[in-house]
Amino acid sequence: MSLLDKLDAVAATRKALLPEDVEVFGTPVDAVYSSTEAKIGDRRILFLGTNNYLGLTFAPECLQAAHAAIDSEGTGTTGSRMANGSYSGHRALERELADFYRCHSCIVFTTGYQANLATISGLAGAGDVVLIDGDSHASIYDGCRLSGAEIIRFRHNDMVDLEKRLRRLGERSSSTLIIVEGIYSMLGDRAPLADVVKLKNAYNSTLLLDEAHSLGVLGTTGQGLVEETGLIEEVDFITGTFSKSLGGIGGYCVSKHPQLDQLRYVSRPYIFTASPTPATIASTRAALKLLREGSELRRQLWRNVHQLYSRLDELGYDLGPEPSPVIAAILKTPQQALALWKGLLDHGIYVNLVLPPATPEGNSLVRCSVSAVHSSEQLDYVGKAFAELREAISQ
């Protein structure tokens, strides 16, 4: 098969499954009105598929900081962090994140995806082992591939399976990087961090925790699962992103180990790409301040999570195992998931459709993301739409 034939096969698969009258993936958003409302085609829609957990994308403090940074430093750095692209703002944000976690070191990256690629491939290499949860995000899988280390998966959140695999490694467990997520992006469940920590200590391994979806969401000051569980001292490396609760784009790694700084010299995804724009860094710094002080926003977020999760549960939808800002309805077939997704869009509600092979266990998901700034009325309306569509999709 030629290279172009392979792409034709992709088009044929898409055509067989997806309707032609609506762009399911990469749906064009024609205007954005607020953190929760936008325009798709000619209709006003409610955003329920973004990762804007604290609703900070239009926070006046962040907008003002971004405007000021553009005016004073321009639209881009046009260079790598290793060359001309480390402005005082980039370094200040690193200090602020290290201070937030009370950690020794922090590195800021251009995206959360690159934070995982850079950290994993900088830490592990040929001859080492990466031991990852089966539901890990694509950036974790890709970081592992880039590292050249041996990749071993354990069953999602299954500590018996993790221990079995550590035991089998024998002495190699001490050159093993275990990777888990604070809140998993597909089903919204948390890693059993206390048990993971016990195993990593027993087998003398190293632990990386990705807090992409839990930053700003869990813990009194929003550090994530490390704060909720009080286990920050036990986790070796934490990665996260600016593109969810912080409402921007970019990523970071923090660590209690001063060796983290050496990643700057060996990590290709850090060295060979341009650094975040001044506006991105400025809005992220402003958002981090709001996130740290945002206990009322977190309370509102969790009120909203419970309102929607319990409504969908009452309606009989098969949901992820615990309430979280990522609320996934699990459907039996891609066709059912598509019908629900399309039905919601017809009601003016945008959610995420996730189909195999991107999903755990080949399930099809309609994934909602709840924000602190959704109103109770908006979530009521979502509940009504899910209720109306319940019958239609079970046929």
Q: Which residues bind ligand PMP (CB under 6 A)?
A: 111-113, 116, 137, 139, 181, 185, 210, 212-213, 241, 243, 251
Contact present, 159 and 195 (Cβ < 8 Å): yes
**Secondary structure of residue 69 in the 3-state scheme:** helix
Q: Which amino acid is at 88?
A: S
In the complex, minimum distance from the CB of residue 177 to ligand PMP, in angstroms, rounded to a whole number: 15
* Closer to ligand PMP by Cβ: residue 113 or 350: 113
* 39 carries an active-site annotation: no
* Closer to ligand PMP by Cβ: residue 89 or 112: 112
Active-site residue identified among 213, 256, 364, 369: 213
Active-site residue identified among 105, 136, 173, 185: 185
* 213 carries an active-site annotation: yes
Cα torsion angle, 131, 217, 244, 110, sign: negative
* Closer to ligand PMP by Cβ: residue 56 or 339: 56
How far is the C-alpha of 159 from the C-alpha of 10, rounded, in Å? 37
* 15 carries an active-site annotation: no
In the complex, minimum distance from the CB of residue 57 to ligand PMP, in angstroms, rounded to a whole number: 14
**Secondary structure of residue 218 in the 3-state scheme:** coil
* Closer to ligand PMP by Cβ: residue 251 or 343: 251
Beta strand 43-47 with 105-109 is unpaired
Active-site residue identified among 90, 137, 200, 244: 244
**Residues pairing with 45 in the sheet:** 38
Cα atoms found within 13 Å of the Cα of residue 351, Cβ hemisphere only: 30
Q: Which residue is closest to ligand PMP by CB?
A: 112
For the chain, where are the E strands, in sequence order? 31-32, 37-40, 43-47, 105-109, 129-133, 150-154, 176-181, 206-210, 237-241, 251-255, 326-331, 349-350, 352-354, 364-369
The phi, psi pair for 32, rounded to 5°, reads -120, 125
In the complex, minimum distance from the CB of residue 186 to ligand PMP, in angstroms, rounded to a whole number: 9
In the complex, minimum distance from the CB of residue 242 to ligand PMP, in angstroms, rounded to a whole number: 7
How far is the C-alpha of 73 from the C-alpha of 10, rounded, in Å? 43
In the complex, minimum distance from the CB of residue 306 to ligand PMP, in angstroms, rounded to a whole number: 22
In the complex, minimum distance from the CB of residue 209 to ligand PMP, in angstroms, rounded to a whole number: 10
* Closer to ligand PMP by Cβ: residue 200 or 213: 213
* Closer to ligand PMP by Cβ: residue 173 or 243: 243
How far is the C-alpha of 234 from the C-alpha of 252, rounded, in Å? 18
Q: Which of 127, 115, 105 is nearest to 176 (CA)?
A: 127
Active site amino acids:
185, 213, 244
